[in-house]
Amino acid sequence: MLDREFIVSNRELVEKSATAKKCKIDFEYLFKVINKRKELINSLNSLREEKNRNSLKVSTTRKVGGDINPLLEKGKEISIKIKEDEEELKKIEEEEFNLLKWIPNILDEDVPSGENSNFKIVKEFGKFEEKKLSYFDIIQSDEGIDFKRGAKISASHFPLYMGKAAYLERVLINFMLDLHIVKHNYKEIFPPFLVNYDSLFSTGQLPKLEEDMYRLKDDDLFLIPTAEVPVTNIFKDEILNENELPKKFVAYSACFRREAGSYGKDTKGLKRLHQFNKVELVRFTKPEESKDAHLEMLEEAQKVLVLLGLSYRVILLPDFDTSFSSSKTYDIEVWAEGSKEFLEVSSVSNFLDFQARRGRIRYKSREGKNLFVHTLNGSGLATPRTVIAIIEKYQTDDDFDFPPILKDYIKFGREIFKSL
């Protein structure tokens, strides 16, 4: 959430970011509400000062034996007016909050901008070779992924991993967790998969993306779209000490997304699912350290693909493709040799203090000031499209093999990271 005073002082920047992210905000009305709030606060301050002066006059007049009834009457009138203004202020502040919560984060100056803007390729790694078969042709066996039975059990886009494919999924998740824990010094978290409205509000998914959420109405809980949500909310409404920062967490979770409005877009197979697995990186930093942390997280996510022997590219998203809460986002897209296309496997984002303000996550500086932390997260990685790339890269005549690094990991476990 953006600070009110920041919005007032940087109206052009805020409006530009909202327009780019296709967020329809009536800024003229918002500023009327902001100004009305300011007027009411000034009026209340004046009335309270007047009430104090009147009370002092009552005391002075009583001491000299004067008539205090007019002053008492005036005091009642002032009190009534104060109560009326306080009630109106409460309504205005609620209205202001309901407007402010729809305003997206500002965009970093490096983000490509404009109606005809496109993503910027930041890095390319590996050889973009092509193979004969797509993963979809390879996994049609009892050792693969059964989409029909998954749909029978649940619904479309809930895959059923079986045998070798299920083992690959499990090994890959553990491999990524251990890499980030041992090599990159993240602390592992195993979070709840159900969260409340406030948690999703803090990270910025709600209210904007409510139609994409799976909701348990009887319990008023939501299935998480990513581990970012519960992990970021670990410190909601808390004040950390400066010497505790940065904090680095990694978490596996199943992710649940209704993908409302996405029908017809890559709906076959693993490319777009309602349930999938992901390893998530989350950091809490001091404001001056978040830019460097962002680039470091980007390198950590890429390391997974490098070790798996997969080719990829890194792109900087344009303004219209940057999420509601993000200021700057890099996507990592793996090259799928059989499908012959780039597939997103990670988004690494810097949210500045946007999420921290919504979740009231602060730290006490050495000077004793309570300041908002900066939050960052990135997939490290999401498994479905990573699995596609692995199966296609390591396909055999009628099956697929595991990458060499995963074979070593199966054999030696965490020990392999000591030599990397």
List the one residue out of 366, 203, 389 whose CA is nearest residue 280: 203
The residues, any chain, with a CB within 8 Å of residue 343's CB and separated by 6 or more, are: 271, 333, 334, 336, 385, 388, 389
List of the chain residues with pLDDT < 70: 115-116, 260-267
What pLDDT score does 64 carry?
87
What pLDDT score does 14 carry?
97
List the one residue out of 306, 195, 297 whose CA is nearest residue 248: 297
What's the CA gap between 377 and 278, in Å, rounded?
A: 12
What pLDDT score does 65 carry?
87
What pLDDT score does 143 carry?
87
Tokens read off for 66: 């004067």
What's the CA gap between 281 and 376, in Å, rounded?
A: 8
Q: What does the CA dihedral 322, 323, 329, 330 come to, rounded to 10 degrees?
A: -80
Q: Provide the 10 A C-beta neighbour count for residue 189.
A: 16
- The label of the residue with tokens 């989409």 reads 147
What pLDDT score does 140 carry?
82
Strand 362-364 relative to strand 239-241: parallel, antiparallel, unpaired? parallel
Q: Measured between alpha carbons, how far is residue 50 from residues 43, 59, 60, 62, 70 in Å? A: 10, 14, 15, 18, 15
Domains defined along the chain, listed by start? 26-100 (1.10.287.40), 120-419 (3.30.930.10)
3-class secondary-structure state, position 314: strand
What pLDDT score does 260 carry?
57
What pLDDT score does 181 carry?
97
